[in-house]
Amino acid sequence: MDAIKIIEKLAKTAQKEKLPQIDVSKTAMCEIGLLRQETTGFLPFEWFAGISAVAASIVTFFSIHAWRYIVDPLIQLLVPFQEILLW
């Protein structure tokens, strides 16, 4: 019982205390400003990603056409006849 009274007394004194007021807005705004400046450095990465995507699409285009020749070797014999008009 004695421990409960001590805890209640400590709780009442803690409720009466004022909370310290700390202003961190300047520090937070500086950090946000630094983050905005750091994100502008991704432009070379975006260019590299774009060029890589174009290169990958070109390689894919040629590999699809090459795949036709790998799968069916007789298509090389029929390619010249594709340009002949039937009428």
Q: Which of 5-9, 16-20, 25-29 has the highest mean pLDDT?
A: 5-9
Per-residue pLDDT for 46 more than 70?
yes
Total domain count for the chain?
1
Q: For position 81, what pLDDT does the model report?
A: 65
Within a domain: 6:
no
Within a domain: 73:
yes
Round to whole Å and give the CA distance between 11 and 5. Answer: 10
Within a domain: 49:
yes
Round to whole Å and give the CA distance between 39 and 13. Answer: 48
Is the overall model pTM greater than 0.85, yes or no? no
Full domain range(s) for residue 59? 23-83
Within a domain: 16:
no
Within a domain: 14:
no
Neighbouring C-alpha atoms within 13 Å toward the C-beta of 30: 4
Residue 68, C-beta contacts closer than 8 angstroms, at least 6 positions apart: 75
Asked whether the CA dihedral 18, 20, 25, 28 is positive or negative, the reply is: negative
Within a domain: 79:
yes
